[in-house]
Chain A
Amino acid sequence: GAVVSQHPSWVICKSGTSVKIECRSLDFQATTMFWYRQFPKQSLMLMATSNEGSKATYEQGVEKDKFLINHASLTLSTLTVTSAHPEDSSFYICSARVTGRHVRGTDTQYFGPGTRLTVL
């Protein structure tokens, strides 16, 4: 149980275009989802916390107008990289926190497989 999927797994786009990445919790509901960015051989950097039905909370230094996050349902959050540039090339990983009193592992975040974005 507690599977998180991401789509697409990789994407190549031209500079100036926008890219949408989907994150889904497949077998549980997630009130809170998180978006991370990982540079090669580095740790995960939290970009934003996404709460279902409300605006995302962005970490300091992350441009909310560039990285649009929508969490429209308890199983889906999307990250849109707008007007992408080569410096946005990275590995983007989402995670979902299991919620609910009767669900085992309610304090655990489960991670998606990641999306490799390359901006030419």
Chain B
Amino acid sequence: AQSVAQPEDQVNVAEGNPLTVKCTYSVSGNPYLFWYVQYPNRGLQFLLKYITGDNLVKGSYGFEAEFNKSQTSFHLKKPSALVSDSALYFCAVRKGGGNKLTFGTGTQLKVEL
């Protein structure tokens, strides 16, 4: 079975400060890892993914994530947060070659002035 843990229900950060949203995963075989963002009453928007290659993945809107195999983590980061980054963030994992995407419970990011 595959699973994703997002240990923080909410992360608060001041605008201009760096942000980190944590994610750890469990899957057999090679993991395909994804981050999505959801704004209120909207679907999910794709931010970035790790399939293979460089452990540091750069995505949309200045976000990046680092794949750490030994710690089974895929934390989302951004060097300087914006108020407009405030949203619900989901980490997801799929087994390489598999079909089912498993989501974490989501982390609400709140960026304040």
Contacts and interface: CB of A to CB of B under 8 A. Distances in A.
Contacts, number: 48
Nearest to A113: B43
Given A43-B90, A43-B106, A44-B90, A111 B45 contact: yes
A87 interface: no
B23 to A, nearest CB: 13
B34 A49 contact: no
Interface-central residue, A46, A95, A109, by most chain B CB under 10 Å: A109
Given A107-B51, A108-B34, A111-B36, A93 B43 contact: yes
Interface in B71-91: 90
Interface-central residue, A44, A114, A116, by most chain B CB under 10 Å: A44
B44 A34 contact: no
A112 B43 contact: yes
A34 B101 contact: yes
Interface-central residue, A2, A91, A113, A116, by most chain B CB under 10 Å: A113
A49 B98 CA distance: 12
Interface residues of A, number: 22
Nearest to B44: A111
A107 B43 contact: no
B69 interface: no
A42 interface: yes
Nearest to B45: A111
B103 A44 contact: yes
Interface string B12-54: 0000000000000000000010101000011111100101000
Interface of B: 32, 34, 36, 41-46, 49, 51, 90, 94, 99-101, 103-106
Interface of A: 2, 4, 6, 32, 34, 42-44, 46, 49, 91, 93, 95, 107-114, 116
17 contacts: A2-B46, A4-B43, A42-B105, A42-B106, A43-B104, A43-B106, A44-B44, A44-B103, A93-B44, A107-B49, A107-B94, A109-B34, A111-B36, A111-B45, A114-B41, A114-B43, A116-B41
